[in-house]
């Protein structure tokens, strides 16, 4: 049975993934301390070009990143790209938050699910300090997504 229909109110499954800076990030390390935002997206480069949607979404999130941090939250972007690819992407666009590499696709399958090509479906999960999923965005308006995340986080406290 494929468990990719996480719902609001579910406990967020723990994971441990390598970030673009080489650190290992696990969900449970933030328990009791921070809300966590997980932004899943298909891939950094489609056909050797940065995907416009990925870039627009990154810009949208970067523009409100200080506000996200001010809600005592951590934000991570996750795709099946390699750590090396994540590193290049983050450096190329000066992205201030970590991108996690899920080359095994376990976390992508658990959370948003994967599409026919095996890429993560674009979706964002808002997880509170107790590890409970509080909001899920599946149809993402990439240009406005940063604001959607901030609004959702402000409702948590």
Place of tokens 């201030």: 96
Q: Are 18 and 24 in contact (CB under 8 A)?
A: yes
Helix/strand/coil for 126: strand
If you compute the radius of gyration of the chain from its CA atoms, what whole number of angstroms results? 14
Going by C-alpha positions, the residue among 37, 39, 68, 41 that lies closest to residue 53 is 41
Query: Which among 1, 48, 49, 117 is annotated as catalytic?
Result: 49
Q: Is 108 a catalytic residue?
A: no
Q: Are 6 and 90 in contact (CB under 8 A)?
A: no
Instruction: Please give the Cα distance from 116 to 114 (Å, whole number).
Output: 7
Active site residues: 49
């Amino acid at each position: 049975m494929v468990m990719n229909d996480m719902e609001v109110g579910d406990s967020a499954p723990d994971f441990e993934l390598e970030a673009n800076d080489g650190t290992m990030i696990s969900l449970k390390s933030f328990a009791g301390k921070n809300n966590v935002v997980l932004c899943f997206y298909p891939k950094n480069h489609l056909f050797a070009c940065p995907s416009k949607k990925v870039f627009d979404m990154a810009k949208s999130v970067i523009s409100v990143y200080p506000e996200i941090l001010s809600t005592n939250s951590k934000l991570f972007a996750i795709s099946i790209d390699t750590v090396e690819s994540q590193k290049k992407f983050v450096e190329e666009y000066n992205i201030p938050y970590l991108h996690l590499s899920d080359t095994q696709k376990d976390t992508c399958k658990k959370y948003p699910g994967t599409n026919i090509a095996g890429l993560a479906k674009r979706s964002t999960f808002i997880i509170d300090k107790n590890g409970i999923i509080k909001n899920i965005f599946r149809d993402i308006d990439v240009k406005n997504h940063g604001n959607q995340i901030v609004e959702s986080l402000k409702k948590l406290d």
